[in-house]
Chain A
Amino acid sequence: MGVRGKRQLLENYIPRLYGYAFSLCGDVHDAHDLVQETAVKSLKSHRVPEDEPAYRAWLFKILRNTWLDVIRRRSRRLAVVENDPDYAEIGSPVWTHDDSIISALTVRLCLTKMSPAHREVLGLVDISGFSYVEAADILEVPVGTVTSRIARARSAMLAHLANSNVRQFPAERRGRGAS
């Protein structure tokens, strides 16, 4: 595959790459750097999968491995999600809060408080739009692990939302002195 072909293929995935990177980093600048580094590595590689699903998994694995290198350098360790403190196995818990607190803004803020493993699976499935099978391939875990992990991640997200004091203003506001 020539340089132009590699670049065109890569460009199609930039938004999803960036969404996944943001879920990992929680910071727009770090996500930008992560995607740039991933792009450079993919363009420099001589062994690029021709099949698009294989290419997609390969590309996102590069990003993930690059991120793992970053956090190793920062001497952090990925939490094991099954024992993650921000998860509580609650079966089918009852949500008693106003659904209006669930918004892109509040979710974005709560995402930064979640464990790396939870952020990662939400990033792959919800932000980047991968199926469970595709996410499992990128994470190199069984599909069943993705199934349980996404359920726990969303429950953890709801728990963080319930405990958050951030609310998004409604899009329309009533004028003063309306008769």
Chain B
Amino acid sequence: MTSQPTDQDLNAYIDGELSPGEGARVARAIARNPAIAARVACLTRVKSALCDLGEDLPEQVTVPVPLRPSRWIARAASIGLVAAIGILLLLTIGAFEWTDDAWYQEALAEHAAWVEDPVPGAAPEVDANLFLASLERFGLPVQAPDLTSAGLRLTYLRYVPPSAAKPAALHLGYTGRRGCKVTLWASPAPDGLGTALDESRIDSLRGFRWRSGATAYALFATGMAERRFSVIASKVYEATRGRHGFDRETRIALRDASAGVPPCLA
């Protein structure tokens, strides 16, 4: 280091990156030269403001938990049944006399049962991207949207195995900060279900249903303002139809959907 510290020296000094000897020389220069002292004070303030910025950033990031497969799924994967299941699911499309209304009633009943008796204890936080990847192993192209922008976390998932009367299905449960519950139900599409976003109301519970390719979706919400639910439904519909995630504008719209509406009721 020359007798006059450079700007690099001054920056390294405030970052504690100089050796003791070099640091002492800079300290002497600061003590002797008011201009150098002012420069160091200025740089220190910039560093401090950036440190404060790091502490002030408001967004809360949730650490995802890798999907822990159910015992049934883990066993199936370990003995190579995944491909067979996928083929079976694909073959079941259209094989059931499973009407649109019956399918919708089934989905509604499952939502009501989950709301009535949610998984006890701390529900696992499930990462939707990992979940989607594992779903695709079963040959069922299900879009599991990330609704964190809408204040909803994916906290519940259940694979419903097929039976003689009905196909397999997937129940995704989202929970809001105040405890509202949203179900996205996905399964092979029943006969008669259209691709348009269709709204229904059964026993005062409002829901939506639609088909995207061979996959049917139903969406229900409990404890949520209707206007907010309408916004979420439209965005989820668009995402599943387009097989894409949410862009920035959509995330903002989902976040703002809760503004000016009554808070959710748990």
Contacts and interface: CB of A to CB of B under 8 A. Distances in A.
Interface of A: 3, 7, 10-11, 14-19, 22, 27-32, 35-37, 39-40, 43-44, 90-95, 99, 102-104, 106-108, 111, 122, 125-129, 131-132, 147-148, 150-151, 154-155, 157-158, 161
B39 to A, nearest CB: 5
- Closest A-B pairs by Cβ, 8 of them: A126-B50, A19-B54, A127-B54, A104-B52, A107-B49, A151-B11, A95-B42, A151-B8
A122 B47 CA distance: 9
A93 B54 CA distance: 27
Contact of B35 (A10, A94, A151): A94
B36 A40 contact: no
A113 to B, nearest CB: 14
Given A35-B61, A99-B45, A102-B49, A30 B248 contact: yes
Contacts of B39: 92-95
8 contacts: A10-B63, A40-B129, A92-B36, A102-B42, A126-B50, A148-B8, A151-B7, A158-B46
A19 to B, nearest CB: 4
A14 B61 contact: yes
Contacts of A111: 50, 53
A129 B57 CA distance: 15
Contacts of B8: 147-148, 151
A90 B42 CA distance: 15
B107 to A, nearest CB: 28
A155 B42 CA distance: 10
A24 to B, nearest CB: 13
Contacts of A129: 51, 54
B17 A147 contact: yes
Contact of B58 (A7, A28, A30, A154): A28
Interface in B135-191: 148-149
Q: Of residues B36, B64, B127, which shows the largest number of chain A Cβ atoms within 10 Å of its Cβ?
A: B64
A108 B6 CA distance: 26
B17 A131 contact: yes
Contacts of A29: 59, 149, 248, 251-252
A3 B59 CA distance: 25
Contacts of A16: 54
Between B7, B36, B62, B248, the greatest number of chain A beta carbons within 10 A of the residue's beta carbon is seen for: B7
A24 B219 CA distance: 36
Contacts of A157: 46
B12 interface: yes
A32 B148 CA distance: 10
A10 B8 CA distance: 33
A122 B50 contact: yes
Given A29-B149, A35-B61, A44-B66, A104 B7 contact: no
